[in-house]
Amino acid sequence: MLGTALLTNRRIIVCGAVLLALQALALAFLVAGIYGVVPQYGPSTVSFVGFYAAGQLAVDGHAQFAYDHTFHYETEEALTRQGITYLPFLYPPVYLLLCAPLALLPFLPAFILFVATTLTIYMAVLRRILDARGSAWLVPALAFPATFWTVGHGQNSFLTAALLGAGTLLVDRRPAAAGVLFGMLCYKPNLALLVPVALLAGRRWSAIIAATVSIVILFGLSVTLFGWETWQAYLRAFFGSASTYEFEITSFNIFASISPFAASRLLGLSNGHAQIVQFAAASVAVVLVGWVWSTNATRASRAAVLTAGTLIAVPYALLYDLMIAAIAGAWLIRAGRDSGFMRWEKPWLAVAYIIPLFALQAGLVSHLPFAPLAGMILVVLCALRAWQEHKGRRGHYPDNAMVGARGRG
């Protein structure tokens, strides 16, 4: 058990601190490049620019133009500089309910507020999942490489992971509240694909009703504030977005994509064959989630399999979406603390943890799909733990490295 013996709490915290410092320096260099402080290869931008530009159009009374590439791109360029890479706004109009208020602030304060608030919410949810005490857990949690992808791009992955994590925390004790949180994921429905599977398999009727009501209310608010024409524009953009996804999946983003579809394309499969692989992966996730949620599995196993399964079920997701992997990993750590870690479970968790750090660069050099490995590893670990529980066996192995253990730090 050498791999497990190496993963002591002290070593995890020290390595996390080093990783945190190195990534902070890299992020500072990235920001300096975006703002022209240091030279870089060309005009660059971040995802939040697309959100803010859409919010500006909504505030100006032209929300439907958020889905017009010409108007939206001109707004993005006005916020940054000429020639940036265009970032289309492909979110449903319910997301404008968040983007529009942010656009009332100047860009930089809006960016800082958005990232800081969503990160704080995410960390609060993560702490509840880990049931962590003290503050030492913050270091490895913040050092998780997907955190810096999210901060660097100004993405909404903290919010998505927090909603999924909080929903799994509350689904047993307060199912209606969990349903509301799950329903709020309608702004990014591709990452909520397995939620209906879990709730139906688990017969969580209160949560299903609450999620439906939540979605209806958000839809109604978006229609009231932004008009039905905005939804029409979104639907036109949505059904015409296949070419956009195909362009991104065959260009730079393929090395940052975490989906089985992207991995298949990178390995040389045709678009049709890659779709078959993605369908197979999604089917495995659906069956696994349905089975685990229909049994008497522990809350930790159910939550872990739902969040980990999401990572292989979606056809389009990038490295910053691996914030969901942190939620899955946290639930696996919680399960390990409660009933014992399986053999080699923690070393494999460490591998999944570190993958977002090197996946893009390794993919660019080798032309191999590294990014999807994190989700695959977590799904396998979840399946093994669920099977162990189903067979009535508890893995009690000697362990001296319980990440987030009570009272340590």
Mean pLDDT of 149-172: 94
Cβ(187)–Cβ(98) under 8 Å?
Answer: yes
Give the amino acid at 203. R
Residue 253's pLDDT is: 75
Structure tokens at 81: 């500089």
Is it the case that residue 6 has pLDDT exceeding 70? no
Residue 153's pLDDT is: 86
Question: Please, which pLDDT band fits residue 84 given cuts at 50, 70 and 90?
Answer: confident
Is it the case that residue 222 has pLDDT exceeding 70? yes
pTM (predicted TM-score): 0.87
Q: How far apart are CA 347 and CA 258, in angstroms?
A: 21
Q: How far apart are CA 288 and CA 284, in angstroms?
A: 6
Residue 8's pLDDT is: 56
Q: How far apart are CA 103 and CA 56, in angstroms?
A: 5
Q: How far apart are CA 328 and CA 322, in angstroms?
A: 10
Is it the case that residue 95 has pLDDT exceeding 50? yes
Question: Please, which pLDDT band fits residue 406 given cuts at 50, 70 and 90?
Answer: very low
pLDDT per residue over 332-363, tens digit each? 999 998 888 888 898 999 999 999 988 988 99
Is it the case that residue 407 has pLDDT exceeding 90? no
pLDDT per residue over 193-207, tens digit each? 999 999 999 999 999
Q: How far apart are CA 165 and CA 118, in angstroms?
A: 13
Residue 10's pLDDT is: 63
> What string of DSSP letters covers 323-367?
HHHHHHHHHHHHHHHHH-PPTTHHHHHHHHHHHHHHHHHHHHHH-
Mean pLDDT of 324-328: 97
Residue 373's pLDDT is: 95
> What string of DSSP letters covers 201-228?
HTT-HHHHHHHHHHHHHHHHHHHHHH-H
Cβ(279)–Cβ(346) under 8 Å?
Answer: no
Question: Please, which pLDDT band fits residue 44 given cuts at 50, 70 and 90?
Answer: low
Residue 296's pLDDT is: 84
Residue 7's pLDDT is: 54
Give the amino acid at 267. L
Q: Show the DSSP H helices in 131-204 as ranges.
A: 138-143, 145-153, 157-170, 175-183, 195-201
The residues facing 257 across adjacent strands are 318
Is it the case that residue 403 has pLDDT exceeding 50? no
* Mean model confidence pLDDT for the chain: 85
Cβ(200)–Cβ(324) under 8 Å?
Answer: no
Whose CA is closest to 330, among 162, 127, 119, 175?
A: 127
Share of the chain above pLDDT 70, in %: 82
Residue 400's pLDDT is: 34
Share of the chain above pLDDT 90, in %: 63
pLDDT per residue over 224-280, tens digit each? 999 999 999 999 888 876 555 554 554 457 889 999 999 999 999 998 999 999 999
Q: How far apart are CA 155 and CA 115, in angstroms?
A: 8
